[in-house]
Amino acid sequence: MSASDSRARLLDIIRKRSFGRGEITLASGRKSDFYFNLKPTMLDAEGAALLAELTLDALQGENIDYVGGLEMGAVPLAGAIAQLSFMRGKPIQAFFVRKKPKEHGARLSVEGLAPGETLAGKRIVIVEDVTTTGGSAIKAAEAVRDAGGNIVMVFTMVDRQEGATEGFQEAKLPFRSLYTASEFLKN
């Protein structure tokens, strides 16, 4: 399938499985008349494969060491991207940042690293399923920077176009998206 066919197919999957109309309160506290719940797409076999494929294609040439982001949305994304990168012969490792460290065990904020493995000096892309203001990704980026990682960019599957671009500019984080809300709101 060509890149444009893959993109069109994934847009169709997201529209059918993860996009809806109706009043909803977003994580940011804002009200909206449309929503994206990307979990049904991320956990769909074809949807997961296409998300990983299109993300890796978009990141080509960036020399990424790791992908990760704040739980929960980043977990299935990072796993699918890591798996496909290995299958393509250019492995990118994955991790996620807890919203708050566990209160038992190692009490880690960054999860998924092997003993002795570190993000220090590594080139990292923060991935996110849906971005509204960017607050969750900025929180993940802060944890990664605290761990010594170099944030190359924040990459989201869907930008709701409600302030994230400005928030990331202010945080000095490059930002790109696979889709924008306007692509789903056209019809």
Q: What is the pLDDT of residues 53-107, one digit of tens each?
A: 999 999 999 999 999 988 888 899 999 999 999 999 999 999 999 877 666 555 5
Q: Is 9 known to sit in a ligand binding site?
A: no
Q: Domain with 92 in it: what CATH number?
A: 3.40.50.2020
- 100 in a known ligand binding site: no
5 annotated binding-site participant: no
- 8-18 pLDDT tens trace: 999 999 999 99
Q: What is the mean pLDDT of residues 3-29?
A: 91
Instruction: For residue 130, say whether it is annotated as part of any ligand binding site.
Output: yes
Residue written as token pair 């994206």: 36
Does 129 belong to an annotated binding site?
yes
Binding residue per annotation — 134?
Answer: yes
Say whether pLDDT at 34 is over 80. yes
User: Does the annotation list 186 as a binding residue?
Assistant: no
Q: Is 132 annotated as a binding residue?
A: yes
At a CB cut-off of 8 Å and minimum separation 6, what does 30 contact? Answer: 132, 162
> Which are the contacts of 26, defined by CB distance < 8 A and separation ≥ 6?
32, 35, 132, 160
The answer to whether the beta carbons of residues 84 and 49 sit under 8 Å apart is yes
- Known binding residue 160? Answer is yes
In the three-class reduction of DSSP (H, G, I as helix; E, B as strand; rest coil), residue 32 is classed as strand
Q: Which of 13-22, 50-59, 130-139 is predicted with the least confidence, judged by mean pLDDT? A: 130-139
| Cα-to-chain-centroid distance, residue 75 | 8
Domain that holds residue 169: 3-185
What pLDDT, on a 0 to 100 scale, did the predictor assign at position 98? 87
- The answer on whether 7 is annotated among ligand-binding residues is no
**98 marked as binding residue:** yes
187 band by pLDDT with thresholds 50, 70 and 90: low
Structurally, the chain folds into a number of domains equal to: 1
- Kindly state the average pLDDT of the residues 141-166: 95
